[in-house]
Amino acid sequence: MKKELLYQGKAKYVYQTDKPNQLILAYKDQATAFNGKKKETIIGKGRFNNLISAKVFQFLHDKKIPSHFIELINDTEQLVEKTMIIPLEVVVRNLATGSIVKRLGFEEKTTFAPALVELYYKNDDLDDPIINDQHATLLTNTTEEEIELIKGLALKINQLLIPYFEQVGVKLVDFKLEFGRNQSGKIVLADEISPDTCRFWDVETNSSLDKDVFRQGTGDLLSVYQEILNRLGEIK
Ligand code: C5P
């Protein structure tokens, strides 16, 4: 049962439930980009993020990746284990695009094999700066071993998700993960995995099936999110 609102982020509300260790994530119909500078209400978006993320987390759960996900409740809500979010954005890149092209001058679509893992400090006031492993341990109350564990999990998740999306004609270009610490101190995958947090390109056309259509104003967000949900629905 949903109790008090604990927190709201840009894309979801977090509610306490009657069980101390369980939370409800309620996805908002809100699209934001550029650290909230671009913002729009898009009715139906929350449902897509919730349903897509639940499918991906269920798949990862079946593959024994520890995460906060418990179950889907309805179209816009899911039940998760309570964690303390570690303020890191863990980005995995298979192909160069987005900020790494702007920041470091890699040519668009350069392949990274092995995949690149980057850490960003999750802090809106500082605009989520990129940091190294030592900064991460100092800023996020984690040990060197825990940062290694987080990076290892991120790469393992990448290895699982590449073929998962590929089977439905979707190239996993890059994505962002967040991790949390549960009540027993264990680090688990948290937050969401959706077209808000991943770059998905159609394998045939390389067209974007993710939030880049909103960031760049190049397409209709709802129709590409619907496309991702439809394709994931084809997986047995
Ligand atoms: O912008 P950039 O190229 O660094 O983004 C890399 C990946 O991380 C993209 O898939 C993007 O959607 C995701 N990301 C995110 N939240 C952020 C920054 C990036 O989900 N705050």
Q: Is residue 187 very low, low, confident or very high in pLDDT (cuts 50, 70, 90)?
A: very high
Same domain for 196 and 93, yes or no, is: yes
Strand partners, 178: 190
Same domain for 66 and 88, yes or no, is: no
Tell me the average pLDDT of the chain: 97
pLDDT at 202: 98
- Whether 192 lines ligand 1, by a CB cut-off of 6 Å, is no
Which residue's structure tokens are 């409800």? 24
Residue 235 lies in a domain: no
pLDDT in tens, 190-224: 999 999 999 999 999 999 999 999 999 999 999 99
Residue 190 lies in a domain: yes
- Whether 16 lines ligand 1, by a CB cut-off of 6 Å, is no
Ligand 1 centroid to residue 175 C-alpha, Å: 6
Same domain for 19 and 126, yes or no, is: no
Residue 201 lies in a domain: yes
Same domain for 52 and 161, yes or no, is: no
Same domain for 188 and 156, yes or no, is: yes
Ligand 1 atom closest to 101 (CA): 3
d(CA 169, CA 59): 17
CATH number, position 48: 3.30.200.20
Question: Does position 1 have pLDDT exceeding 90, yes or no?
Answer: no
Same domain for 30 and 63, yes or no, is: yes
Cα Rg, the chain, nearest whole Å: 17
CATH number, position 188: 3.30.470.20
Q: Please state whether 20 falls in left (phi above 0), alpha (psi between -120 and 50) or beta.
A: alpha
Question: Does position 162 have pLDDT exceeding 90, yes or no?
Answer: yes
Q: Please, what sign has the CA dihedral across residues 178, 89, 6, 28?
A: negative
Same domain for 71 and 139, yes or no, is: no
pLDDT in tens, 115-151: 999 999 999 999 999 999 999 999 999 999 999 999 9
pLDDT in tens, 54-93: 999 999 999 999 999 999 999 999 999 999 999 999 999 9
Ligand 1 atom closest to 91 (CA): 8
d(CA 160, CA 62): 11
Ligand 1 centroid to residue 91 C-alpha, Å: 7
- Counting the structural domains of the chain, the total is 2
Residue ID of nearest Cα to ligand 1 atom 20: 197
pLDDT at 2: 87
pLDDT at 173: 98
Same domain for 89 and 134, yes or no, is: yes
pLDDT in tens, 164-179: 999 999 999 999 999 9
Domain boundary among 54, 81, 108: 81
Continuous H helices in the chain: 45-62, 99-104, 133-140, 144-166, 212-215, 221-233
Ligand 1 atom closest to 100 (CA): 3
Q: What's the domain range around 17?
A: 2-81
Same domain for 77 and 88, yes or no, is: no
Ligand 1 centroid to residue 54 C-alpha, Å: 19
Domain boundary among 30, 46, 81: 81
Same domain for 201 and 108, yes or no, is: yes
Residue 138 lies in a domain: yes
Domain boundary among 56, 81, 106: 81
Residue ID of nearest Cα to ligand 1 atom 19: 176
Determine the residue of 171, 176, 179, 191 to mutate for testing ligand 1's pocket, defined as the one with the most ligand atoms within 8 A of the Cβ atom: 176
